[in-house]
A and B are shown apart, each in its own frame.
Chain A
Amino acid sequence: AQTVTQSQPEMSVQEAETVTLSCTYDTSESDYYLFWYKQPPSRQMILVIRQEAYKQQNATENRFSVNFQKAAKSFSLKISDSQLGDAAMYFCASHYGGATNKLIFGTGTLLAVQP
């Protein structure tokens, strides 16, 4: 079975500091994509960043970057210079390509940002 695991139910960070959210996944597929979604209190699902498994270079989007360790099946999200607006639930998700279209989500990490 293809699974996504987020072992940190809650995290807290001081404003302007850096925080890393952990995610591991399990698959036997060679073609897959990994994503981080942000869900603020409005409950809107917002795509933060994506990583193609065939790319060795870690993806970066402004203050957000990932540490993709393919052999370890690890996909962590680093948020630099944390802002109050970063407070949200963060979901790690995977898409395995091929015939299936679905995203498989982890259970989420609730991030609090302290002023």
Chain B
Amino acid sequence: AAGVIQSPRHLIKEKRETATLKCYPIPRHDTVYWYQQGPGQDPQFLISFYEKMQSDKGSIPDRFSAQQFSDYHSELNMSSLELGDSALYFCASSFPGEGPYEQYFGPGTRLTVT
């Protein structure tokens, strides 16, 4: 079965640089979620999109922005990177008809800021 695809899988950036993370949801899934998991921590919700509109917002810094495109893929743009942004970034997707609120996670993008 098709899964959530994230690219790149690993990314190394320097402080103050910009990074773009991409997420391709499972086919037919119309909702995308972004989570940030710091070292030794649980995933923290950043933002979600439903049918290309922002549906919920969590603890996402103002330096970050995201959007969902017409093909339902999503991009998380991160600017003025800080050392504390080093984390594993997960994208998840869901479709209401496939179980209530079940979110299927991608493999994650490991971002390292040096």
A residues within 8 Å of B by Cβ?
Answer: 33, 35, 37, 42-47, 50, 52, 91, 95, 97, 99-108
Contacts and interface: CB of A to CB of B under 8 A. Distances in A.
A101 B108 contact: no
Contacts of B43: 45, 91, 103, 105
Contact of B48 (A43, A91, A101): A101
A106 B56 CA distance: 20
Main secondary structure of the interface of B (DSSP, over half): strand
B86 interface: no
Interface of B: 31, 33, 35, 37, 41-45, 48, 50, 55-56, 58, 88, 90, 92, 99-105, 107-108, 110
Contacts of B101: 33, 95, 97, 101
Contacts of B104: 47
A47 B90 CA distance: 14
A8 to B, nearest CB: 14
A46 B92 CA distance: 11
From B44, B55, B58, B101, residue with most partner A Cβ within 10 Å: B101
A101 B33 contact: yes
A115 B62 CA distance: 48
Given A102-B33, A105-B42, A108-B42, A43 B56 contact: no
A101 B56 contact: yes
